Amino acid sequence: MKAYNLNQLKIIAAINAEMNRQHPNIPADNRMNVVIEAVNSICAEYAREPVDITSAMGLGNWLVSDKVGASSKYMASILSRKFVSRYAHPHDSDDFIRCIGLIKAAPELEDKILFMFGESHEWSCIAANWNSWKLLVENGELDTLNESMQKTYAAKVGY
């Protein structure tokens, strides 16, 4: 990922043209301010350099990186006990990889993964299978990981 400088005026004009296509002669009233704010937000997001995860970058830096998902953020909240996050669990390999990224960024949390037992059936499955699922990621076996996650979650036994 890299930064991009977008032409704000051209994007606003394109949105305005599409709005006029859908509703000819739609007024450019004060509601256009919302369009401008949205385009400004889009341009600002694309103009910044993406923040990737680096080894031992720390929890705080990880939280402002571009590799935080709902489930990895929930995991961070439980393991660190420094903030509260809405419940979520990994549904697929991409979600699980973001959890691995948390541990890469804050390796001191790896010894606490077993604390995820009891958070839910799914998190208990993840804690029990952490090392084997992490190995599947390291070996590039993402389809196998996805299949294993779904079968393990569906079993609803043992955790």
pLDDT tens-place string over residues 4-28:
999 999 999 999 999 999 999 999 9
- Please give the structure tokens belonging to residue 112: 């606490």
- Please give the structure tokens belonging to residue 152: 């393990």
pLDDT digits (tens, 9 = 90+) for 118-157: 999 999 999 999 999 999 999 999 999 999 999 999 997 6
The answer to whether the CB of 76 falls within 8 A of the CB of 102 is yes
Q: Which of 71, 79, 113, 120 is nearest to 95 (CA)?
A: 71
- The position carrying tokens 């704000």 is 8
The answer to whether the CB of 114 falls within 8 A of the CB of 127 is yes
The answer to whether the CB of 41 falls within 8 A of the CB of 33 is no
pTM for this predicted structure: 0.80
Q: What is the dihedral of CA 78, 75, 68, 39, to 10 degrees?
A: -60
Q: Which of 40, 66, 44 is nearest to 54 (CA)?
A: 66
